A = this chain, B = another copy of it.
Amino acid sequence: MEEITLNKNQYSLAEEDYIKAIYHLSQQNQEALTNDIAERLETKPASVSDMLKKLADKKVVNYVKYKGVTLTEEGVKIALELVRKHRLWEVFLVEKLNFTWDEVHEVAEQLEHINSPLLIERLDEFLGFPKFDPHGDPIPDAKGEFLVKPHVPLGEMEIGQVGRVVAVQDISALFLQYLNKVGIYIGAKVSITDKIEYDGSLEVLLDDKKTILVSKEVAKNIFVGI
């Protein structure tokens, strides 16, 4: 009897979420660490170790025990496809279904796992081939390529420098609702009018209209194109 192994290139929802987490963590550092993956996926380090072994067997990650993990070429391909789907769905929810930018992430976290190449191709077309999602993050095209808008954290701008908000790093509902409240949005015109030395907070002129005070923590999570 001949052994035939069909590589259906199909991954479970759990595997997909791990791949995506490793992708995002690898953007920040060189490789993803077990504890960081566990925290991101709200699971336990022991579960992560289990899964990393499985993903290594499937050749989507390079895994050396105790040394962290990176995605293989195949793993990056899967991750970019997931990111593409996630962000396209976020655009759909905001542009077509009138969701606010703080409501979309959790639903997109589910929708990204729907498996239908035709669906994504048509969705992309329906949305007019958007290049950025509601949080300012770039949307990979079908080949995995995406635009990069140069930007700096709000906190690193000089006094007097003018720019526009291009993205946010923290996409939690709590943070986005805070931004809604103070009037910060993607595209808003910002300039630093003063830096408070005592606590590192910033005085920001918003859309030439009003001045607001933002904390160091907040400033770290807002990216500005100059």
Binding site for B on A (CB under 8 A): 93, 96-99, 103, 106-107, 110-111, 114-116, 118-119, 122-123, 126
Contacts and interface: CB of A to CB of B under 8 A. Distances in A.
B114 A97 contact: no
A93 B110 contact: no
A223 B103 CA distance: 42
SS class, residues of chain A in contact with chain B: helix
5 closest A-B pairs by CB:
A97-B122, A107-B116, A110-B114, A107-B119, A97-B126
B115 A110 contact: yes
A112 to B, nearest CB: 11
Nearest to A98: B122
A13 to B, nearest CB: 9
B119 A97 contact: yes
